[in-house]
Structure 1
Amino acid sequence: MVRMELINKNEVRLLIAEKGLTLKAFSNHIGISQVYLTQILKGYRIPSPTVSAKIAKGLDVEITDIFNICVQEK
C-alpha cells in the first residue's frame, strides 16, 4: 500500500494562494471537492496517489516536492 503524506501543509496553502486561487477554486480546478482538499490540508485524510498527483500537477510542482511517499507492506 502507498501512503501519501504532505510534507508541509502550510507550504501547500501558500502555493495555492500564490496562484491567486482560493481553496474552492483550486479544488474545482483539479477536480476534487473543497471538503476533501481541506481535510487533506488539515491532516484528517490521506490522499490517494491519484489525488496527490492532481494536487502536485495543479501547483506545477513535482509530487515529491510536497508529499512523502511511504510504501507499506500488507
Structure 2
Amino acid sequence: MIRKNSKIASAHNNLGNIFMKEGRYEDALKIYKKAISMNPKSSDAWYFAGVAYEALMLQEEIAVKGGRGYQKKE
C-alpha cells in the first residue's frame, strides 16, 4: 500500500508542477497538500508546496504594490 500511495503522490506532484508552470499557484498548492497527505515523507511534495506558497505570497505582494500605481517623483 505504501508503494501505491507513493506512486499516486508522485503523480500529484507532477500535476502540481504543471499547475505551477501555468501560474495556477493555488491549484498547485492544493495538489501538493494532497500528495503530502498520501505520502508525508515525500520531500518533493513538501518542497514544491513551499515553492507554491512562496509564489502565492509574491503574487499577493505584487498585487498590493501594483495597486498603488506609478507615482512620479518631482
Comparing both structures, which one devotes a greater share of its residues to strand? 1
Q: Which has the larger radius of gyration?
A: 2
The structure showing larger relative contact order (alpha-carbon pairs under 8 Å, at least 6 residues apart) is 1
* TM-score, scaled relative to structure 1: 0.35
